[in-house]
Amino acid sequence: MPALGQDANYSGILDGNELDNSCKFSSGMIWNPNVKLTVGVEYLRGQRENKDRAAGAGNR
């Protein structure tokens, strides 16, 4: 197993479409304007990159 902060070299073992790295951000808020009403919103953002450098991102 590689030491912390070092990349492992798995060439020849993993396909090019295997996940290389990813990151995710999420945020949410809940508001109670009165006793009978609650409103909430949430935002998520994710990105990924494969071993073959194909990348994608999504919002939700």
C-alpha–C-alpha distance, residues 60 and 44, integer Å: 5
pLDDT value of position 36: 94
| Domain extent listing, the chain | 19-59
pLDDT at 50: 86
Q: What is the DSSP letter of 14?
A: B
Amino acid letter for position 30: I
Express each pLDDT in 15-59 by its tens digit. Answer: 767 878 889 999 999 999 999 999 999 999 999 888 888 888 999
Task: Provide the pLDDT for residue 21.
Answer: 86
pLDDT of residue 4: 53
Per the model's pLDDT, the better-predicted residue between 5 and 33 turns out to be: 33
Q: Which residue has the higher pLDDT, 38 or 12?
A: 38
